Structure formats: C-alpha cells, structure tokens
C-alpha cells in the first residue's frame, strides 16, 4: 500500500495504472473520482497491507467469533486483530550470509589513467582510477510498466524493448543534448498553447512555467557557446644583485629594453631637434597660432 498527497493523485494513478487494472478495478472510474470504486481500492490496499505485516512479524491474523459476527450476523472486518503469534524460526535468528556485491542497475564504471606529479619527488606518475557512468539498467518489464495498456511494443512476460544509449562527455555532446531538450520543450509549449486556445484562451499557469523552463534552456546553450578562454600569468621580478645575475623580465624580454629616448627639458632644444631625438626624420612642423588677448 502506498499513500500519496491529494495533489499527486493524478500522477500516482497513472504510475500504478497497470497494477490497478490487473487487480480488477475500473481505472476510468477511479480517475473520475468515483467514490465507490476508490473505496473498493482503498479497502483492497488495506487488506494486503495487513497480510504483509502479518507475514513480516510472523503473526497469524485470526478473528474471534465475537469479532467476526455481530448481533445482526454481519462481519466486522474493521475489528480484526492479531490474537496470537508464532515463534520466530531459526532462519530469522541466523546471522545474514555474506554475498557477492554488485553494482546497482543503471550504474557502470570506466577505468582511466590519471597522470600526476609526485609532490615529494617531483616525478611524473600514473595511476588507474574509475569513473561512474549512467547506463540503461534494462530492468523494466512489460507486465509492470505503467504504459502497458498503450505501449505499441507491449509483450507479456518480456523486458522492455527500448533502450536509451545516451553519452554526454564532450562539449559537442552536451550541446546536442541541449538541442534535443530545447526541441522537446518547444513541442510541449506549443502543444499546451493549442490546448489553452481550445479551452477558451484563459492564461494557463502551467504553460507559463514551461515557457520559463524553455527560456532557461535557450539561455544555457547561449552561455555555453559564448564562453571564452582567459589566461592570466603572474610574474615576480627581482633586482640584479650582482654582475652575472639576470632577472625574470630580462630572461623573457632580453637584458636591454630600448625604449623611446627621453626628450630634453623644454626650452633648451628646438622642435626639429626634438623630432630627431624621437626618431622622426621627416615631418612638417605646424606652429600654434599666437594667443589672443
């Protein structure tokens, strides 16, 4: 027995549609909130819950004559209780046996070689590590699938025929996945938009939330495609303490750094000589006009 909040009843009914139908209940009446059919389903669930608890704790649920038959001869199932219990068997008290461990369905590991530098010796070394990958668990069975009544590939007693070979490891694969999500989300948005118009054009808050989700996907893809590359380098230069010492800047760019020659103080050199000091051999000198009084 599983209990769901009221706001999840539609989702729960779709999830357990196959189980409800196989138990002999009318799923259409249950989805239509038929009180009688939902009461029958509830009583059936409680009955199986009581049986499960009894088997788990080793109790035999046996109603007394006073509990099963009232003054009018009707059965009072609501007052059935456990009146005796059986002792635990040896299997229940035996310690659990060790079993070979297995990976959970849907998880696989992939070995890769990791290269690193030993901080003690400074040598380059390698070690083998394992990464976790999500794979198709292949545990879905047609008989227990909530789409059994509508699936075109339904086959009683067989496993699911569909597979999802998805790999997202590179930037290109990531962008391709986002393209697929954007396409699917766009189809959902336009389908809900059509339903909104058919229902009279009243703004559907569910459609608004799906439109916001689509906008997030589009923005995420745009941010990934526009992502740039930034490289920064920090250097520390020391002064030359001896005749043979060379600083970092000197090693990178040379010991001499020939910049533009310094000009003489103003008023002691002519404009033509100043241009010559700056390395300008041919130029036309334009004199400023005399200031007005």
DSSP string, 11-30: HHHHHTHHHHHHTT--HHHH
Structure tokens at 25: 């209940």
Q: How far apart are CA 286 and CA 138, in angstroms?
A: 86
So where are the chain's domains? 6-80, 105-165, 166-228
- Rounded average pLDDT over 234-243: 54
**Residue 115 bridge partners (DSSP):** 126
Q: How far apart are CA 175 and CA 267, in angstroms?
A: 66
Better-scored residue on pLDDT, 35 or 246: 35
- Rounded average pLDDT over 206-225: 91
Radius of gyration of the chain (CA): 40
Q: How far apart are CA 281 and CA 6, in angstroms?
A: 90
Angle in degrees, 0-180, between the axes of helices 171-198 and 205-225, rounded to the nearest 10: 160
Select, from the ranges 94-98, 275-279, 282-286, the one with the highest average predicted confidence (pLDDT): 94-98
pLDDT digits (tens, 9 = 90+) for 29-79: 888 888 898 888 889 888 888 888 888 776 545 555 454 444 444 444 444
Q: How far apart are CA 138 and CA 104, in angstroms?
A: 12
232: confidence class by pLDDT, cuts 50, 70, 90: low
């Amino acid at each position: 027995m599983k209990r769901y909040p009221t706001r999840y009843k539609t989702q729960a009914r779709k999830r357990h549609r196959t189980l409800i139908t196989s138990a002999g209940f009318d799923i259409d009446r249950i989805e239509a909130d038929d009180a009688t059919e939902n009461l029958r389903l509830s009583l059936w669930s409680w009955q199986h819950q009581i049986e499960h608890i009894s088997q788990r704790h080793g109790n035999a649920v046996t109603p007394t004559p006073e509990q099963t038959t009232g003054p009018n001869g009707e059965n009072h199932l609501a007052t059935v209780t456990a009146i005796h219990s059986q002792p635990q068997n040896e299997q229940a008290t035996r310690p659990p046996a060790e079993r070979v461990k297995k990976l959970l369905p849907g998880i696989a590991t992939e070995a890769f070689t990791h290269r690193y530098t030993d901080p003690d010796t400074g040598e380059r070394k390698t070690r083998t590590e394992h990464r976790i990958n999500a794979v198709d668990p292949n545990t879905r069975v047609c008989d227990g699938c909530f789409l059994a009544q509508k699936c075109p590939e339904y086959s009683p007693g067989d496993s699911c025929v569909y597979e999802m070979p998805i790999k997202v490891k590179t930037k290109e694969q990531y962008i391709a996945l986002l393209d697929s999500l954007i396409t699917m989300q766009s189809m959902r948005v336009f389908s809900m938009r059509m339903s909104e118009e058919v229902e009279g054009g009243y703004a559907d808050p569910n459609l608004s939330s799906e439109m916001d989700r689509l906008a997030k996907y589009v923005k995420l893809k745009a941010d990934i495609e526009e992502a740039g590359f930034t490289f920064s380098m920090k250097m520390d230069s020391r002064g030359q303490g001896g005749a043979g010492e060379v600083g970092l800047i000197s090693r990178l760019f040379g010991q001499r750094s020939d910049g533009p020659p310094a000009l003489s103080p103003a008023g002691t050199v002519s404009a033509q000589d100043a241009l010559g000091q700056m390395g300008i051999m041919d130029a036309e000198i334009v004199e400023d006009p005399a200031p007005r009084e």
